[in-house]
Structure 1
Amino acid sequence: MYNSQEQMILGGLVIVYFLFLFGVSLYINQRSIKTYDDYNVAGRSVSIFPLILTFVGTAVGGSTLLGFMENGYRFGMGQHWLNFGTLFAGIILMFFFVKKIRQYGEKYDMVTIADFTTLRFGEGARFPTVISILIAYSAITGMQFVAIATILNLTIGMSITTGIIISWVMLTLKTYFGGMKSVIWQDAFHGTIQTIGIFTLFVVVIIASGGWGNITENALAMNEGANLSIFSISSTQVFVYLLTIGAYQFVRQDLWQRFWAAKDIKTASRGYWISIILAFLTGFFVITIGVAGKYGLQMGEINPTLSYYEIIGNVFNFPMVVVMIIALLATVISTADSFFMAGASSIVNDIIKPRLKSQDDKKLLFYSRVSVMLVSIFSILLALYIPQLVNLWVTGTAMLVSSLLAPVIFGLFWKGTTKAGGTWAMWIGLIIAVVWQMAGHPFGIHPVFIGLPISTVLVIVISLLTRSNGMNVHHEEEAI
């Protein structure tokens, strides 16, 4: 794709970029990270500008830029349902969940979702929550390793396996030293680059395609005009997207942690609301670029997985290609370290911390960094096992949704939910989803269509049957 001189330039750029980010992490580690809260929730003092961009930077990752564009190129405008699922969930979350989540976090100094499920359902709920979070976030972190490996493969010719290992080492070191404070401030930088880069690419591709009218004419000439409709997708696939990528927004630990990291509820609400709009527009631009690349630029027979690289190479000269590679790196890295921290905080906060006799900040900081290493190992194993971007994302979110969605929602809004109802729903939903995934989707049914309904029924039925044993709502919760 690139000649040897261009590969050398791009390879050097990647190295310099990572060294710069690593240096920033070390600087923040020395200057700002003094406590456990500093490392895991950025000291609960983040202002609105970095909060908006860290929301966007986390939401728009490698799967969005590379996976969404590939899907748009392959299947057309119907892939916007990937994006609609996130938008619908974000709006509901904004109006009905954010305030409640923030209030719980403030009152009980929460760091993870397991802090909430344990408060609501007792210590028995902590372990299934942690397992669900780790499976999902390790899968999504591994997805970013794959995305970076793909960049290295296409720019400097490195093998995918070697690229995964290299990206694993670099991202692990950066996150190990920087913690959440470094993640959020680097996301502000990355979010700015990726937003400007994607918008610029969208405008240039539409102009180079001759406008939407020309794109439509070309699609019709290829007898693929149906691909320009948002309904060019099966209803089953729509529901898979809504119940995985969409529904998991409600139990995204990285989102909850950012609601708690904001300096106040007003900042959390405004920051999230603006980020919902920016993330939706970004997703819209990316999918449409894929569609326009196929029917507008008419690049001939290309590998759809390379659509991003082929499109930027078609409309830009090499110096601008370099800029777009930076935008791609910014997009991937901003998601990877966020999910790293979400998974790692579950290990230290929910497995290690409850078992420590002495919980001083120095010891907790040490174990927080150990947790980053543990998540990184699990993530690289998943990346090597499922090296397809969107599949890895959907698989991870299906596990999380099947286990946590119903218990968390009922726990937030129905005081009649009991410890037994919440805990059993988590365990059974998770086990069924994992078994169904490992069995290869028997009868062609996605795991989320089995795990989520069963979890929902269980949390209701078991709660009704066990209410006579006493409501498990703490007196302290009545004010929330």
Structure 2
Amino acid sequence: MFNGQEQTILGGLVIIYFLFLFGVSLYINHKSIKTYDDYNVAGRSVSIFPLILTFVGTAVGGSTLLGFMENGYKFGMGQQWLNFGLLLAGIIMLFFFVKKIRGYGEKYNMVTIADFTVLRFGEGARFPTVLSILIAYSAITGMQFVAIATILNLTIGLSITAGIIISWILLTLKTYFGGMKSVIWQDAFHGTIQTIGIFILFVVVIAVSGGWENISQSAAAINEGTHLSIFTISPKEVFVYLLTIGAYQFVRQDLWQRFWAAKNLKTATRGYWISITLAFLTGFFVIVIGVAGKYGLQMGEINPTLSYYEIIANVFNFPMVVVMIIALLATVISTADSFFMAGASSIVNDLIRPRLKVQDDKKLLFFSRMSVLFVSVFALLLALYIPQLVNLWVTGTAMLVSSLLAPVIFGLFWKGATKAGGAWAMWIGLIIAVGWQLAGHPFGIHPVFIGLPVSTVLVLVISLLTSEKNSVRTPEGEHI
């Protein structure tokens, strides 16, 4: 795709960009990270502008830009259901969840979802919550390693395996030193770049394609006009997206942490509202770009996995291609470090911190950074095991949804949910989903279609059977 000289230039710029981000992380580490809360929830003082962009930067990652565009190129506009699922979940989250999540976080100084599940369902909920978070977030972090590896493969000719390992090293170092403060401020920078870059690409591709009417005519000419309809997707596939990528928004630890990191509830709700709108528009544009690339640009037979690179090379000169590669890097990195922090904070906050006799900030900071290293290794192994972007995303979210979605929702909205009901639902939902995944989806049934219903039934039935024995009270003795 790129000649030797262009590969050298791109490779050099990629290295310089990573060194710049690493330098920013070191600077923030030296100037701003003094306490455990600084490292894990940015001191709970983030203002509206960086909050909006860190929401967007985290929501729009490598799977969105590369995976959505690839799926749009291969399957057409029906892939917008991935995007609709995210928007619907975001709206429900905004109107019914954010205030409750923020309230619990402020009252009990929460850092992770396990802080909530342990408060609500007791110590028996701690380990299944942490395990679910680690599996999901390591998978999604690994997904970003794959995305960066693809960039390195095209820019400097590295193999995908070597690229995964190099991206693992670079992102681990950056996150290790910077913590959540670095993540949020770099996300503000990355979110700006990626949003502007994707919008420019959308406008240019539509213009070069001759408009939507020309795209429609080209698709009809090769008997693929139906690919421009959003209804060319099976109901089963729609429900898989809704119950994994969509439903997982309710138990996204990185989202909960940003609600708690905002300086107040108004900032959290306003920032989230603007961000879900921007994220939806970005996802919509990306899928349309994939569709327009196939039917409007008429590039011939290409590898759909490389559709982003082929499209930018088709419509831009080399200097603009460089800009779009940087926009892609910004997109991937802004998601990877956020998920790093979400997984790592579960280890230090939920497994290590409760067992420390002396909980000084210096010791907690040390264990926070060690947790980043642990998550990075687990994510690396998953990236090497499942190197397909959307598959890795759906796999990780299915584990999280199957285990946590039902107990968390019932815990937030139903006082009758008991300790036994919540804990058993988490364990059984997770075990079934993981087992079904490892078994290779028997009978063609996705794990979420088994794990989530079982978890939902269990939390209801066991709570009703144990309502007198397992009433839930807060540390202050308050019944919730």
TM range, normalised to the smaller chain?
A: over 0.9
Q: Which amino acid in structure 2 is aligned with residue 52 of structure 1?
A: I
Query: Taking every aligned residue pair, what percent have the same amino acid on both sides?
Result: 86
Q: Which amino acid in structure 1 is aligned with residue 174 of structure 2?
A: K
Q: CA deviation at 1:478?
A: 6.0
Q: Secondary structure at the match of 2:468?
A: helix
In structure 2, the residue matched to 1:356 is: 356
Equivalents in 2 of 1:124, 1:479: separation in Å?
18
Q: Which amino acid in structure 1 is aligned with residue 437 of structure 2?
A: Q
Matched, 1:342 2:342: yes
Q: Which amino acid in structure 2 is aligned with residue 55 of structure 1?
A: F
Q: Which amino acid in structure 2 is aligned with residue 234 of structure 1?
A: S
Equivalents in 2 of 1:36, 1:296: separation in Å?
52
Matched, 1:41 2:41: yes
Can you give the 5+ residue segments of structure 1 that lack an aligned partner in the other structure? Answer: none
Q: CA deviation at 1:474?
A: 2.9
Kept in 1, the 8 Å contact 2:473–2:479? The answer is no
Q: Which amino acid in structure 1 is aligned with residue 85 of structure 2?
A: G
In structure 2, the residue matched to 1:310 is: 310
In structure 2, the residue matched to 1:144 is: 144
> Cα 1:473–1:124, aligned 2, differ >3 Å: closer, same or farther?
same
Q: CA deviation at 1:316?
A: 0.1
Q: CA deviation at 1:472?
A: 1.1
Q: Which amino acid in structure 1 is aligned with residue 170 of structure 2?
A: M
In structure 2, the residue matched to 1:108 is: 108
Kept in 2, the 8 Å contact 1:171–1:337? The answer is yes
Alignment of 1:49-128 (within 5 A): 49-128=49-128
Give a deviation string over 1:50-80, Cα, whole Å, max 9, x none.
Answer: 0000000000000000000000000000000
> Cα 1:380–1:319, aligned 2, differ >3 Å: closer, same or farther?
same
Q: Secondary structure at the match of 1:33?
A: coil
Alignment TM-score, normalising by the size of structure 2:
0.99
Equivalents in 1 of 2:475, 2:36: separation in Å?
28
Equivalents in 1 of 2:381, 2:237: separation in Å?
27
Q: Which amino acid in structure 1 is aligned with residue 455 of structure 2?
A: S
Alignment TM-score, normalising by the size of structure 1:
0.99
Matched, 1:395 2:395: yes
Q: Which amino acid in structure 2 is aligned with residue 406 of structure 1?
A: A
Matched, 1:458 2:458: yes
Equivalents in 1 of 2:267, 2:194: separation in Å?
23
Give a deviation string over 1:318-358, Cα, whole Å, max 9, x none.
Answer: 00000000000000000000000000000000011011111
Q: Which amino acid in structure 2 is aligned with residue 22 of structure 1?
A: F
In structure 2, the residue matched to 1:162 is: 162
Equivalents in 2 of 1:468, 1:327: separation in Å?
56
Q: CA deviation at 1:476?
A: 5.1
Q: Which amino acid in structure 1 is aligned with residue 413 of structure 2?
A: F
Equivalents in 2 of 1:444, 1:15: separation in Å?
43
Alignment of 1:206-221 (within 5 A): 206-221=206-221
Equivalents in 1 of 2:153, 2:479: separation in Å?
54
Equivalents in 2 of 1:208, 1:279: separation in Å?
24
Equivalents in 1 of 2:333, 2:178: separation in Å?
13
Kept in 2, the 8 Å contact 1:348–1:367? The answer is yes
In structure 2, the residue matched to 1:434 is: 434
Q: CA deviation at 1:473?
A: 3.6
Q: Which amino acid in structure 2 is aligned with residue 272 of structure 1?
A: Y
Give a deviation string over 1:122-158, Cα, whole Å, max 9, x none.
Answer: 0110000000000000000000000000000011110
Matched, 1:6 2:37: no
Give a deviation string over 1:290-327, Cα, whole Å, max 9, x none.
Answer: 00000000000000000000000000000000000000
In structure 1, the residue matched to 2:412 is: 412
Equivalents in 1 of 2:440, 2:479: separation in Å?
46
Matched, 1:191 2:191: yes
Equivalents in 2 of 1:478, 1:309: separation in Å?
56
Q: Which amino acid in structure 2 is aligned with residue 441 of structure 1?
A: H
In structure 2, the residue matched to 1:375 is: 375
Q: CA deviation at 1:468?
A: 1.9
Q: CA deviation at 1:479?
A: 9.6
Q: Which amino acid in structure 2 is aligned with residue 189 of structure 1?
A: F
Equivalents in 2 of 1:323, 1:359: separation in Å?
46
Matched, 1:444 2:444: yes
Give a deviation string over 1:376-418, Cα, whole Å, max 9, x none.
Answer: 0000000000000000000000000000000000000000000
> Cα 1:118–1:441, aligned 2, differ >3 Å: closer, same or farther?
same
Equivalents in 1 of 2:476, 2:232: separation in Å?
50
In structure 2, the residue matched to 1:32 is: 32
Equivalents in 2 of 1:26, 1:245: separation in Å?
33
In structure 1, the residue matched to 2:203 is: 203
Equivalents in 1 of 2:219, 2:473: separation in Å?
58
Kept in 1, the 8 Å contact 2:419–2:470? The answer is no
Kept in 2, the 8 Å contact 1:142–1:379? The answer is yes
In structure 2, the residue matched to 1:421 is: 421
Equivalents in 2 of 1:402, 1:420: separation in Å?
17
Equivalents in 2 of 1:475, 1:29: separation in Å?
34
Q: Which amino acid in structure 2 is aligned with residue 157 of structure 1?
A: G
Equivalents in 2 of 1:175, 1:240: separation in Å?
32
Kept in 2, the 8 Å contact 1:77–1:227? The answer is yes
Equivalents in 2 of 1:152, 1:231: separation in Å?
36
In structure 1, the residue matched to 2:386 is: 386
Q: CA deviation at 1:234?
A: 0.3
Q: CA deviation at 1:475?
A: 7.8
Equivalents in 2 of 1:441, 1:26: separation in Å?
44
In structure 2, the residue matched to 1:232 is: 232
Q: Which amino acid in structure 1 is aligned with residue 422 of structure 2?
A: G
Kept in 2, the 8 Å contact 1:415–1:473? The answer is no
Kept in 2, the 8 Å contact 1:47–1:267? The answer is yes
Give a deviation string over 1:398-445, Cα, whole Å, max 9, x none.
Answer: 000000000000000000000000000000000000000000000000
Equivalents in 1 of 2:11, 2:470: separation in Å?
62
Kept in 1, the 8 Å contact 2:168–2:376? The answer is yes
Can you give the 5+ residue segments of structure 2 that lack an aligned partner in the other structure? Answer: none
